A and B are shown apart, each in its own frame.
Chain A
């Protein structure tokens, strides 16, 4: 019966529930194919219940003795067990003698009872036999698979050599050796994936190297078989393999998606290959910790410590791409890894040498390399410790744009303002995550089923609100919806005076926190309870000012914030907005810089005197101190902002900015990733992540991020991303292509920032005359319009070293904030040892700036 009607479908599900209860085997693949997709969630739940039942059975058997592990001296089939070689999660490995053929083999004896019913055992045998059909010189041959008495056994080729684990334990292998072994492992994976077999437990202990240097990968298909029945397509294994238990692999080699409970596919093997490559190159695994929890956290959240200085950039990039946290950012297949490694192999040792780092050369470069590696590791540890110290982030909420149900368009500001206020209030909580306004708007603009949006943007609940104004009174309805089930879990209504709209948002946030049983700190509760009413006219101007900021209309934003404070001189948020607007005006040179910075400082101070928890005001003050190169006080303000709004994408973005400036690229990337997580629909945040990667010299990742924005956005961020993407190309020796990409639609319609980039690209491509022509045009613009950093980069690339240094010197004297990136911008590598350059960097004080 095809369950093509609801009644039939219910009946089919009922029969499956019966099968789970009866403990009779279920062909899940057939069930998923037969039952319509809208019921797949129920199917998955039933399948998970079956797994739980099986788990209890396995534990019971284990508890009551289970299969014996001591088989020495016995005979299994025609194999005489000689000695135990090792034991893993799935069975025991023995050296055994095949008396019929007179050869030694490795005999893996699995615990048959662990595989539950016959169908699972048959699945294991089928997978093991399939693996046995693999014929690749780098895969250990499976001679025989079978059952004998209580045992399921696999007879495998005995490799006379050492495991990769033994070879790389505590010492790095020579780069060329690591590449050679990596090529052989990738080759083995390519063959297996082509046959539809995913390893799922690739690790250095599963890789043997013979005395002649031949690599043999062991145990293909075995881990997969114990986690599921059925085969897996190389890329699409996740379709069939949703039952995979994370525990089926070995923790230190497991890809992040497996830890998240997602299915394994070929890309999970590529991650494990990355771990093995890293292990060979560093002599240690990339993700370590004192216990499983720490290792899991490192795998999920931390970047691995830098590889040794002897490892060149191209090889680092290969490892980094294998170890990308997101599977889709890794190599798409083992064949691609193989090709990349072969290309490196062909380069030879000279070209594999490390590339320059963003530090001035010193008399003893090798020692300095170590110092910087140590610093990088220390920085990573600090980030790691910081992550560990953070409280659990709790549920993620999307605040949908409030609906204006007043029947009058001019009341829309109330709805817009309420949305912003609610998001800001949530951002002040440490145990609830809130997605940013950009993402709320994106979800609202593209209607889709809530569960789909939840999966895409990563939230658990959606908060819907509606505002109705009747004269001076306001009614607000709020509804919290479980995003996965699309069911309401909380509903509340509030009726207040219009001026109290800034208190309603806090009441809503408190109500949601209570419903979700999320504990609040005393300061969070106090902050939510401290809101005061505001003049409606001030609120309206403030909301419009915020909208102008979102649209980067800073002049209009300043005017509206001024209007707001005129209407209500005690409105702290409006002063904070004003301070923020002045900092933007300063950065983009729209006001006299000294005037802008003084006004920003005054507005921020006023905001904080009215309400010391205004995160935006702290951020503005951080900026003010930053442009005064007072880094200690800037960091203090950033910390204050983070304390007041730990869930604010802006706060993480500013931390990333600071970390990037101060040459803490790893931290900058991490902070920016967090910002993107909180504002996943913002192309600007994505561009900034690309920049963080670029400044951290992870060019390949930067390219990918910019490519994502180019494919996604159709506005100014697309143009920014395209310019930065072109720079990535130029920085990696593809300046010609960069110029072609940048000039595809002509120079005439270019913005200043695009011309700035093009000037550098031309110079990098050796087209100095065209570069100089653009630079001359940029210098002819009104003072402050062109970035001195960009001009200097173009000048330097075209060989005008003195002109470049003079440009930088002038900007330094004017304290132009755009040259703050000088210390990390790769384009300035050629002058790192130049005393004038060093003097400028020293003057900015960034080298001694405190850690965040």
Chain B
């Protein structure tokens, strides 16, 4: 299997098959991520896969303009594009009338699954704190914490010299995140 970095390089040269291959490879990961970030009520008007396809399309278009040479960088960009799409989807869903009454047995339909489990306010603070990290730290955290990559996969996606180096990158980024989130800890 060709490395993602190779596919990215081919995509930059206009290789449609490489693009198709990378889309096939990354879509499940991003779909899972989108599922976690999209509240139940916002699903339906457009499917999660529509949002993912759209985010990937924008990310592919950005390859020539941004430094997206490895999987970590590319996924970091795609995640941002996807988040934008999710916000728009929620906005559209809010604009349409809500008919049925809430099912009291569900914890909350207004919250996305991630917000339900982790807390909406914390997730928001986390997104903000992520922006304060270096691009490498940012990407490593997304891969490990959000997309569930093993350290070996993080190393490959980030082109780190070793699994240990990837682990170090992730864990120091977590330490930094904790420091940045400290002012809001009483709200957590």
Binding site for B on A (CB under 8 A): 13-14, 17-18, 20-22, 40-49, 51-60, 62-64, 86-89, 203, 205, 242, 245-252, 261, 289-293, 295, 455, 482, 484-485, 487
Contact = CB atoms under 8 A, between A and B. Distances in A.
Question: Which of A17, A42, A48, A487 has most B Cβ within 10 Å?
Answer: A48
Nearest to A246: B119
A229 to B, nearest CB: 15
A247 B107 contact: yes
A291 B167 CA distance: 43
Contact of B188 (A45, A55, A57, A60): A45
Interface residues of B, number: 49
A44 B187 CA distance: 9
B87 interface: no
B105 A22 contact: no
B118 A63 contact: no
A51 B171 contact: no
A59 B36 contact: yes
Interface stretch (B15-23, B57-65, B120-128): B120-128
A292 B109 contact: yes
A246 B117 CA distance: 8
A14 B178 CA distance: 10
A45 B185 contact: yes
B6 interface: no
Contact of A52 (B35, B105, B110, B114): B114
A525 B146 CA distance: 42
A17 B108 contact: no
B116 A247 contact: yes
Contacts of B32: 59-60, 63-64
B182 A13 contact: no
Contacts of B116: 55, 245, 247
B114 A56 contact: yes
Nearest to B187: A261
29 contacts: A14-B175, A17-B178, A20-B174, A22-B167, A40-B185, A42-B185, A44-B185, A45-B179, A45-B182, A51-B118, A51-B119, A52-B118, A54-B118, A55-B116, A59-B35, A60-B32, A86-B105, A246-B119, A247-B107, A247-B108, A248-B107, A261-B122, A261-B187, A290-B98, A290-B102, A291-B110, A292-B111, A482-B183, A484-B183
A115 to B, nearest CB: 11
Given A51-B118, A59-B35, A250-B105, A21 B186 contact: no
B2 interface: no
B188 A44 contact: yes
Q: Sort A-B residue pairs by CB-CB distance and give the 9 closest, nearest first.
A: A55-B117, A41-B185, A485-B183, A59-B36, A21-B171, A45-B181, A292-B110, A247-B107, A44-B185
| A22, A57, A242, A455 interface centre (most CB from chain B within 10 Å) | A22
Given A45-B185, A55-B113, A21 B174 contact: yes
Nearest to B180: A45
Nearest to A51: B118
B114 A485 contact: no
Contact of B108 (A18, A251, A487): A251
Contact of B114 (A55, A87, A88): A55
Q: Which of A42, A53, A56, A289 has the largest count of B CB atoms less than 10 A from its CB? A: A56
A45 B184 CA distance: 8
Contact of B171 (A22, A251, A295, A487): A22
Contacts of A293: 110
Nearest to B179: A42
A41 B182 contact: yes
Contact of B109 (A14, A63, A203, A291): A291
B89 interface: no
Nearest to A60: B32
Contacts of B145: 49, 52-53, 56
Given A20-B174, A88-B105, 19 more contacts: A13-B175, A14-B171, A17-B172, A44-B186, A45-B182, A46-B178, A48-B126, A55-B36, A56-B146, A56-B148, A60-B36, A60-B148, A86-B105, A87-B105, A89-B106, A245-B118, A247-B108, A251-B108, A290-B102
A21 B107 contact: no
Contacts of B171: 14, 17-18, 20-22
B184 A59 contact: no
A25 to B, nearest CB: 16
Contacts of A63: 31-32, 35-36
Given A56-B36, A455-B186, A485-B183, A62 B106 contact: no
B102 A291 contact: yes
Contacts of B109: 291-292
Contacts of A55: 36, 113-114, 116-118
B46 interface: no
Interface in B100-154: 101-102, 104-111, 113-119, 121-123, 126, 144-148
Contacts of B36: 55-56, 59-60, 63
A273 to B, nearest CB: 17
With most chain A CB atoms within 10 A of its CB, the pick from B107, B121, B171, B179 is: B107
B170 interface: yes
B105 A89 contact: yes
B174 A89 contact: no
Nearest to A10: B175
A253 to B, nearest CB: 8
Most buried by A among B126, B174, B187: B174
Contacts of A261: 119, 121-122, 187-188
B177 interface: yes
Contact of B104 (A57, A245, A252): A252
Contact of B174 (A17, A43, A291, A455): A17
Main secondary structure of the interface of A (DSSP, over half): helix
B23 to A, nearest CB: 18
Contact of B105 (A64, A205, A245, A487): A205
Given A40-B185, A261-B188, A485-B183, A51 B98 contact: no
A55 B145 CA distance: 10
Scoring B32, B148, B177, B185 by chain A CB atoms within 10 A of each residue's CB, the highest score goes to B185
Nearest to B154: A21
A245 B186 contact: no
Contacts of B111: 247, 292
B92 to A, nearest CB: 16
Contacts of B183: 41, 482, 484-485, 487
A62 B184 contact: no
B170 A21 contact: yes
A20 B173 CA distance: 11
A203 B122 CA distance: 27
A251 B119 contact: no
A299 B183 CA distance: 27
Contacts of A56: 33, 36, 114, 145-148
A89 B187 contact: no
Contacts of A290: 98, 101-102
A171 B137 CA distance: 58
Contacts of A252: 104
Nearest to A204: B104
Given A42-B182, A59-B113, A247-B108, A48 B102 contact: no
Contacts of A41: 182-183, 185-186
A49 B177 contact: yes
Nearest to B113: A59
B121 to A, nearest CB: 6
A205 B103 CA distance: 13
Contact of A46 (B144, B167, B174): B174
Interface string B82-108: 000000000000000010011011111
A484 B185 CA distance: 9
Nearest to B184: A484
Given A55-B36, A60-B148, A49 B174 contact: yes
A89 B114 CA distance: 14
Contacts of A242: 188
A17 B175 contact: yes
Nearest to A89: B107
A295 B107 CA distance: 12
